[in-house]
Amino acid sequence: MPGVSLVGSGSACLTVQLTNDDLSQRVDTSDEWIAARTGIRQRHLAAATDSLSSLATEAARNALAMADLSAEEVDLILLATSTPDDLFGTACQVQAALGATRAVAFDLTAACSGFVFALVTAAQYIRTGVFKNVVVIGADVLSRWTDWDDRTTCVLFGDGAGAVVLRASERDRLLGFELCSDGSLNHCLNLAYQPETAPLVGDINVQMGTFSPITMNGREVYKFAVSRVPEVIEKALFRAGLTTADIDWMVLHQANQRILDAVADRLGVPSDRVVSNMARHGNTSAASIPLALDEAVRAGKIQPGDVIATAGFGAGLTWGAAIIQWR
Ligand code: UT7
């Protein structure tokens, strides 16, 4: 059975920055409150000329360059997103923009767990021998669906895109994983469709609604994250035949610095092994893990052979962990 190697990472550079002080001009909040409760100091926003597909394409292009792989060699593009340009799917626009003419491309939606779910999905295609070269992208423009007058949510989110390249290899570097869902908790975090009935003909109606901005029960999601994330990482480690002592880096979904600290504490992972870009990016949903990974790789922190415990968690509710070895 072919193994899976991660051979490149990339991210998009977003130039618009929104600081906590900027936000305090819009809602009743402060830099002190946001920094103390979340660790966030600023976040990036997509510019008016950006699209989800342009950001995803930039991240993918940078990951392909690091992997030294041409777009024509890509077999599959998996785009994890909850904020598509097109509800029919955005991955094909990325495929066209990259010039990945041989690739099949589709979207996968699992909110902030989307990147981990897509990584594991991509790995199955490689392990079965169907595809050799896969680009996995996590990208979200949550600013499109944020209620900018709701201080309990708007301070958390930012826009971003990150990507990795997976290749078939002799040695398998996806060492273990575990994925979970619990739809009974769906109401805790929503970007839900709101139907509006419109008359069509006679007594036949159609639903012509739209999506309403993000709503969240922050305390419930917080409790869920600090209990479920350590558990799912331990399960993935067990499948890998490893223990927490083997973790070189933890690259978790960047939701809240307090969540990162609590997870590290429960697992006994030293804080200097926890990758965090919370302060600069906030919560970028499906983008947060590949973005944090790419920054740590390019900063020379993550080195070839390092064991990385990664975990996503969020709406669905969904959560999942993957233990990977870099390159
Ligand atoms: O991708 C996964 C998605 N989401 C998450 O991971 C979020 C998980 N949850 C959290 O990160 C935290 O629950 C929050 C950061 C959202 C909130 O922090 P908290 O410590 O749980 O605060 P809280 O909701 O208990 O609110 C404490 C107080 C409240 O005031 P009262 O009722 O005590 O008077 C809030 O109204 O803080 C108030 N508050 C704020 N104050 C200033 C809530 N948001 C703000 C704000 N600025 N932005």
Architecture of domain 3-171 in this structure: 3-Layer(aba) Sandwich (3.40)
What's the whole-number average pLDDT of the chain?
97
* Dist. CA 217 → ligand 1 center (Å): 9
283 lines ligand 1 (CB under 6 A): yes
249-252 and 307-314 strand pairing: parallel
Helix (H, G, I), strand (E, B) or coil at 113: helix
Percent of the chain with pLDDT over 70: 100
Q: pTM for the full model?
A: 0.97
By alpha-carbon position, which residue is closest to atom 43 of ligand 1?
Answer: 152
Q: Where are the domains of the chain?
A: 3-171, 176-185+213-325
Q: Biggest alpha carbon distance in the chain?
A: 67
Cα 37 to ligand 1 centre (Å): 7
Q: For position 157, what pLDDT does the model report?
A: 97
Instruction: Give distance in angstroms: CA of 152 to centre of ligand 1.
Output: 5
Q: Which residues pair with 274 in a beta bridge?
A: 250
Q: What is the pLDDT of residues 249-290, one digit of tens each?
A: 999 999 999 999 999 999 999 999 999 999 999 999 999 999
Strand order in the sheet with 307-314: 174-181, 318-325, 307-314, 249-252
Number of Cβ atoms within 10 Å of the Cβ of 195: 12
Do residues 214 and 296 touch, judged by C-beta distance below 8 A? Answer: no
For 68: left if phi > 0, alpha if psi spans -120 to 50, otherwise beta; the answer is left
Task: Specify the ligand 1 atom closest to the Cα of 219.
Answer: 13
What is the rounded CA–CA span in Å between residue 293 and residue 301?
A: 10
229 Cα to the center of ligand 1, angstroms: 20
What's the CA gap between 139 and 85, in Å, rounded? 11
Quick: pLDDT tens for 18-69: 999 999 999 999 999 999 999 999 999 999 999 999 999 999 999 999 999 9
Each residue's pLDDT tens digit, 208-241: 999 999 999 999 999 999 999 999 999 999 999 9
Measured from the CB, is residue 314 less than 6 Å from ligand 1? yes
Mean pLDDT over 85-111 rounds to: 98
For residue 314, the ligand 1 atom closest to its alpha carbon is 2
Residue 97 has pLDDT above 90, yes or no: yes
Question: Does the CB atom of residue 222 touch ligand 1 within 6 A?
Answer: yes
Atom 21 (ligand 1) nearest CA: 219
Atom of ligand 1 nearest to the CA of 285: 1
Is 327's pLDDT higher than 90? Answer: no
Ligand 1 contacts CB of residue 152 (under 6 A): yes
User: What is the atom index within ligand 1 of the atom nearest the CA of 288?
Assistant: 1
Q: Which atom of ligand 1 is closest in space to residue 283's alpha carbon?
A: 1
Q: List, for residues 165-218, the tens digit of each pLDDT value.
A: 999 999 999 999 999 999 999 999 999 999 999 999 999 999 999 999 999 999
Beta strands in the chain (DSSP E): 3-11, 16-19, 42-45, 76-80, 104-108, 133-141, 159-169, 174-181, 189-190, 193-194, 197-201, 204-207, 210-211, 215-216, 249-252, 307-314, 318-325
C-alpha closest to that of 9 among 315, 301, 311, 313: 301
Q: Which two tokens stand for residue 305?
A: 């052979």
**In the chain, pLDDT over 90 holds for what percent of residues?**
99
Q: Distance from the CA of 227 to the center of ligand 1, in angstroms?
A: 18
In this structure, which residue's CA is closest to atom 7 in ligand 1? 218
CA dist 55 and 51 (Å) reads 6
- Ligand 1 centroid from CA 187, angstroms: 17
Residue 225 CB–ligand 1 contact under 6 Å: yes
Instruction: Return the structure tokens found at 150.
Output: 């709701």
What local confidence, expressed as pLDDT, does residue 233 receive? Answer: 98
CATH number, domain 176-185+213-325: 3.40.47.10
pLDDT, tens only, 27-39: 999 999 999 999 9
Atom 13, ligand 1: residue with shortest CA distance: 218
Same fold, 3-171 and 176-185+213-325: yes
Ligand 1: does its nearest atom lie under 6 Å from the Cβ of 151? yes
Handedness of CA 234, 110, 10, 291 (dihedral sign): negative
Q: Please give the backbone phi and psi of residue 154, each rounded to the nearest 5 degrees, phi first.
A: -65, -20
What 8-state DSSP symbol labels residue 154? Answer: H
pLDDT digits (tens, 9 = 90+) for 134-165: 999 999 999 999 999 999 999 999 999 999 99
Indicate which residues carry an active-site annotation.
Answer: 112, 253, 283
Instruction: Check whether 72 has a pLDDT greater than 90.
Output: yes
Cα–Cα distance between 252 and 259 in angstroms, integer?
9
